[in-house]
Structure 1
Amino acid sequence: MTTPPALLIAGHGTRDEGGAEALRALVHTVGERHPDVPVTGGFFGLAPSGPPLAEAVAGLVERGVTRVAAVPLLLAPTGAVRDALPEALERAREHHPDLGWACAAELEPGPRLLDTLERRVEAALGSGARRPEDRARTTVLLVGRGASEPQANAEVARAARLLWEGRGFAGVETAFVSQAWPDVPAGLDRCAALATAAPGAPGAVGPRRIVVLPYFLFSGDLLERLCMQTEGWAAAHPGIEVYGAEMIGPGAELAEVVVERYLEMVAGVPLLTGAAYGDRAAEGDTRGTDGAPGRSGAWAPGGEGHGEHADAR
């Protein structure tokens, strides 16, 4: 029986020990739910937490792994951060020249992830989120981290649109904690204005309400800033109900999103399927979970020199 490629869950380096613990918890959850898949996790980029990605790769090699599929814990393309993962993998392969690897694109707002976000809204509201007439008076503010790259911010807007489609909310707006506009107070202002202008659904009873939904995988400083900004705005607008939802978190839902991305790679990349490939691995497309085109990042066959990176986006 052929051992499947190892799954390397790659987090961007953080100084927050809570984020590091969340990655370790996610690796544990994936391992429990999919014991047939060798899995580990490591950090890349600046200020890496433990374990570093190179150490995680070395551990896989010691277990006899020769093929690695890396899934980055990123929700949007973020330039230098995104590029740092294939660079880190290539550096690790200098010490393990027989290692073949492939790097997935960022996690997309596919059905699994969108369903998770919807459940976070429901949990914030309680049973009132389940009736169509109550959803019709609920506006969601999806809050991203914010980046200097428009493409990264556009991914948050895309997730908001997909979350709104067919779920009955009055609207889903976007805001960012830093580096991009609108900021959280401006986003809440917009939600309040839309809630006032909306005609409402037949049978909807009670005041309009806003759910602030973090588009974050794990907790950290940005989540604390978001909570402070939300609480400050809510205190200044006592006539509007404002609820705070939980972030996505490292539980079973995210574990299945990551494994889904891993399985897409294993099925679509010759390096990982074991099919024949040439001296240089070529870039190839995968299909995102929402039907939109996604890209596997860079992949390089072990034992044939260092393959060139192909930009995933």
Structure 2
Amino acid sequence: MQLRWDGDVNPAKLGIMVCGHGSRNRKAVAEFAQLTTGLGRLLPRHPLAYGYLEFAHPVIPSGLDRLRSAGVAQVVAVPGMLFAAGHVKNDIPALLNRYSAATGLSISYGRELGMDARMVRAAAARITAALPPEARDAQGVAMRQDTLLVVVGRGSRDPDANGNMAKITRMLVEGLGLGWGETCYAGVTFPQVEDCLRRATGLGYRRIVVFPYFLFSGVLVSRIHRAVDCVAADHPPLDIRKAAYLNDHPLVLDTFRARAQEALEGDNAMNCALCKYRIQVLGFENEYGAPQSSHHHHHEGLGKACNLCDGDCTGACEDDVKAKTHYH
């Protein structure tokens, strides 16, 4: 498969750049690389590279250098992030603009994965895999009203991104026929995971499924799992289950491919209806009209991979990271 190219340029001269945030956790970095490999299999005729904003190598400019070395004439840069907050709206485009101005490379910027039916179905598949075989009604529809779903997002200082997380929860609860749903966040905003879970235990549901709406592993997923274990230990009769995060589900890869195609066709506009930089959102009026800039240029590639755990993050690094360096 190749992206549709309307001009006369050889498709091999169109490069794909996947822009990630970066993590100190080696498993998270490996999973990001694995996802880009899967995307490369969907687009085998196009040179593909990836890079990170911070905490890991290669950084985004290094990935762009690699594409230039491969002789690409145009790059489609896709943010490897679920929702549009500061990284998608400011940090990545500011970095891409600086690189394009310095090198002359033409870069088209795609939108985030965002609200997409494919992403909802990928999430539903992860949740369904965590559920037991369910009873069905006379029409063969699964009966799941005894299950409460807790969806955990990363959390942001952007209310639009946090609101989209709540919308994902509602679509999953209604789509899967679950009894109830709660949305919480692993950082930055409220409610936090453990507070949300403790409230959920009092709602009278037989089962709680906790789903991290994350692409990859890392310290925040570890934080979620530790909160689940803590609450489950205090409520042994409750069936509290952990669903797997999204990772490289085929529908996630297909959404990435679609975002690259949109950017190439110029149909890549974000939904800015509630963007705090475009309109005066209640409580965030002072950020209206703020210039697009990045605070990551002095953090690119910062730090070494964490050596406190192999594979899944245990959370042992959190206090160390908070004490020593840039921390969200």
- Per the TM alignment, residue 86 of structure 1 is displaced from its structure 2 partner at its CA by 1.1
The answer to whether 1:51 aligns with 2:58 is: yes
Amino acid at match of 1:107: L
What does residue 114 of structure 2 align with? 108
The answer to whether 1:214 aligns with 2:212 is: yes
**SS where residue 175 of structure 2 aligns?**
coil
CA distance in 1, matches of 2:125, 2:204: 21
- Per the TM alignment, residue 251 of structure 1 is displaced from its structure 2 partner at its CA by 4.2
- Per-residue deviation, residues 131-179 of structure 1 (Å, max 9, x unmatched): 7454221111000112233222212112112222332111221011222
Match of 2:237 among 236, 239, 255: 239
**SS where residue 93 of structure 2 aligns?**
helix
What does residue 125 of structure 1 align with? 131
**CA separation of 1:285 and 1:251: change in aligned 2, threshold 3 A:** closer
**CA separation of 1:129 and 1:29: change in aligned 2, threshold 3 A:** farther
CA distance in 2, matches of 1:126, 1:267: 43
What does residue 285 of structure 1 align with? 269
Question: TM-score normalized by structure 2?
Answer: 0.73
Match of 2:146 among 137, 140, 152: 137
**CA separation of 1:123 and 1:91: change in aligned 2, threshold 3 A:** same
Where do 1:38-117 residues align within 5 Å?
A: 38-44=47-53, 46-47=54-55, 49-79=56-86, 82-97=89-104, 99-117=105-123
**SS where residue 178 of structure 2 aligns?**
coil
Match of 1:169 among 174, 178, 184: 178
What does residue 195 of structure 2 align with? 186
Kept in 1, the 8 Å contact 2:147–2:207? The answer is yes
The answer to whether 1:29 aligns with 2:32 is: no
CA distance in 1, matches of 2:107, 2:101: 12
What does residue 10 of structure 1 align with? 19
CA distance in 2, matches of 1:150, 1:267: 29
- Per the TM alignment, residue 126 of structure 1 is displaced from its structure 2 partner at its CA by 4.0
The answer to whether 1:262 aligns with 2:271 is: no
**CA separation of 1:129 and 1:146: change in aligned 2, threshold 3 A:** farther
CA distance in 2, matches of 1:36, 1:180: 42
**SS where residue 75 of structure 1 aligns?**
coil
- Per the TM alignment, residue 60 of structure 1 is displaced from its structure 2 partner at its CA by 0.8
- Per-residue deviation, residues 79-123 of structure 1 (Å, max 9, x unmatched): 2564111111122224421x1112122211311111111111111
**SS where residue 285 of structure 1 aligns?**
coil
Kept in 1, the 8 Å contact 2:160–2:274? The answer is no
CA distance in 2, matches of 1:310, 1:87: 7
What does residue 19 of structure 1 align with? 28
CA distance in 2, matches of 1:14, 1:183: 21
CA distance in 2, matches of 1:263, 1:251: 19
**CA separation of 1:184 and 1:226: change in aligned 2, threshold 3 A:** same
CA distance in 2, matches of 1:239, 1:214: 23
Kept in 2, the 8 Å contact 1:139–1:195? The answer is no
- Per the TM alignment, residue 258 of structure 1 is displaced from its structure 2 partner at its CA by 0.7
CA distance in 1, matches of 2:241, 2:217: 17
- Per the TM alignment, residue 294 of structure 1 is displaced from its structure 2 partner at its CA by 11
CA RMSD in angstroms, aligned pairs only:
2.7
CA distance in 1, matches of 2:79, 2:192: 26
**SS where residue 175 of structure 1 aligns?**
strand
CA distance in 2, matches of 1:133, 1:195: 20
- Per-residue deviation, residues 203-239 of structure 1 (Å, max 9, x unmatched): xxxxx11100001110001111111100110111122
The percent identity for this pair of structures is 29
Residue ranges of structure 1 left out of the alignment (5+ in a row): 197-207, 270-283, 296-308
**SS where residue 107 of structure 1 aligns?**
coil
Amino acid at match of 1:243: R
What does residue 321 of structure 2 align with? none
- Per the TM alignment, residue 33 of structure 1 is displaced from its structure 2 partner at its CA by 2.5
